Amino acid sequence: MRATVTIEKDKLDKLLKETKSRSKASAVKVAIDEYLRRKKIEKIKSMKGKLEFTMTADEIRHRER
């Protein structure tokens, strides 16, 4: 999908340098992927203590599928 966005030159230059990307598009893709990955981790961490498991880790690991 194509999208037109306006990004300040200095921020885009920093992004290109940090991601070591060759193109602006790939640098933005890396930034978006990293942002989404961090949000997913936050969501998983927020669930800590809210889930209850009836099986132990060993039982889960060794059960037949």
Q: Which amino acid is at 15?
A: L
Beta-carbon-side half-sphere exposure of residue 31 (alpha carbons within 13 Å):
18
Neighbour-count burial of 56, counting CB atoms closer than 10 A to its CB (0-12 exposed, 13-18 middle, 19+ buried): exposed
Query: Using CA atoms, how far apart are residues 35 and 52, in angstroms rounded to an integer?
Result: 29
What is the pTM for the complete model shown?
0.72
Provide the residue-wise pLDDT of the chain in tens; the chain has 65 residues.
899 999 999 999 999 999 999 999 999 999 999 999 999 999 999 988 888 888 888 888 888 76
Residues in the chain: 65
Q: Are 2 and 14 in contact, with CB atoms under 8 Å apart?
A: no
